[in-house]
Amino acid sequence: MYISEDEVRAVLTYEALIPAIRMALIDYSAGLVEQPARMILRAGNAEGHRNGWFGVMPVIHGDVMGVKTVTFYPGNAELGVHTHMAIIELLDRATGAPLAVMDGRLITEMRTAAVSAAAFAALAPLHFDAPPTRFGIIGSGVQARAHVHALRLVWPELRDILIWSPTRAHAEACAAELGGGPAAIEEAAAADVVLTATLSTQPVLQGRWLKPDALVLAVGGIGPMNRELDDEVMHTCFLVAESRDCVARESGDVIGFGATIHAEIGEILARPGATVIPKTGRVLFKTVGMAIEDLTAARLVGKGRER
């Protein structure tokens, strides 16, 4: 059975995905997920930043197994084509029988935002004395849009959305769609909560722009050589990782600075009082994406199709 992106869109909702992702992150930190390192091959299709890659992401959790094959071609942005594309296969753990094959592009988009939403819901009450209201977004692509849709479900106090893009017209279009406003990068970075979701290979967010108690959600800069955050951001933030192993291996921001990971989000979700999240200072949540998140979303799609 092949499930297209349109069919995924018809059944996958953030209302179901965010709590499912929350439980998956808890299970991951509890050692209940078998997930080897993502294998990546360079496509060799072009030079420099246009060189794409092909990744394979297997995982076993509960009664199912899964594998996502994903491509990332940064040069596609210049062609008006999605930079990320993927296919996910679900298999029965008991017999190995294939259960479904589905398009994974929208799943990748939505599960990334759902992870940030689950992390925000856990971290914000521990970090802020009063609920934050201003959201700054560095980037204007699919993740900017997805994060606003997901975060609105767990952040009812969200009032102001400030969007920066290196292309002003893109920021204006994204802001109009989301009910926000285009902003200078320094203004977006001075919000209570800041999302970095870019394809940049060099730091775009500077620590001197951040509020003293900012919460940063960083979803770009994936790859050992890529950076979204400058050294001051890394130096001044309490770092919470989606996965210690994955972030230490795949985040250029963490590798480049030599940052210490203070906690894993699944641990905080399971036991909010076990990790002391600082009230003063900044907090950074870093994610690079994991197969367990894709499997969790794909399982919801499969169940939704059965109804």
Reference 29, options 277, 296, 264; nearest CA is 264
Residue 182 and residue 103 share a domain: no
Distance of CA 39 to the CA centre of its chain: 19
62 and 74 co-located in one domain: yes
Burial of 19 (0-12, 13-18, 19+ CB in 10 A): middle
Token pair listed for 134: 């201003």
Q: b/e per residue, 182-202, with b = 16+ CB within 10 A?
A: bbebeebbbbbbbbbbbbbbe
Please answer whether residues 283 and 238 qualify as being in contact, where contact means their C-beta atoms are separated by less than 8 angstroms: yes
Q: How far apart are alpha carbons 133 and 151 in whole angstroms?
A: 12
pLDDT at site 44? 86
Q: How many CB atoms lie within 10 A of CB 157?
A: 12
| CATH of residue 131 | 3.40.50.720
Are residues 237 and 129 both part of a single domain? yes
Same domain, 185 and 129: yes
Half-sphere exposure of 232 (CA within 13 A, CB side): 10
Is 170 found in the same domain as 66? Answer: no
Residues 150/110, Cβ–Cβ less than 8 Å: yes
Q: Please tell me the predicted confidence (pLDDT) of residue 18.
A: 98
89 and 72 assigned to the same domain: yes
The rounded distance, in Å, linking the Cα atoms of 167 and 232 is 25
Contact in structure between 307 and 135 (CB atoms under 8 Å) = no
pLDDT for 74 equals: 84
Q: What pLDDT score does 307 carry?
A: 63
147 shares a domain with 77: no
Q: Count of CB atoms within 10 A of residue 32's CB?
A: 14
**CA atoms in the 13 A half-sphere facing the CB of 158:** 24
CB atoms within 10 A of CB 223: 16
Assess whether 257 and 245 both reside in one domain: yes
Do 117 and 92 share a structural domain? no
Q: Within this chain, do residues 89 and 124 fall inside the same structural domain, yes or no?
A: no
Residue 277 domain boundaries: 113-289
Residues 139 and 69 in one domain: no
**How crowded is residue 219: how many other Cβ atoms within 10 Å of its Cβ?**
24
Alpha carbon distance 298, 21 (integer Å): 11
Q: What is the pLDDT of residue 196?
A: 98
Instruction: Give the rounded distance of the alpha carbon of 107 from its chain centre.
Output: 12
Give dist(CA 124, CA 70) in Å, integer. 31
- pLDDT on residue 201: 86
Reading the block at residue 2, the tokens are: 């092949």
The total of structural domains in the chain comes to 2
64 is written with which tokens?
């199912």
Check whether residue 129 and residue 89 sit in a common domain: no
Q: What is the pTM of this model?
A: 0.96
Cβ neighbours for 187, distance < 8 A, ≥ 6 positions apart? 136, 162, 164
CATH code, 52: 3.30.1780.10
Which stretches of the chain drop beneath a pLDDT of 50?
none
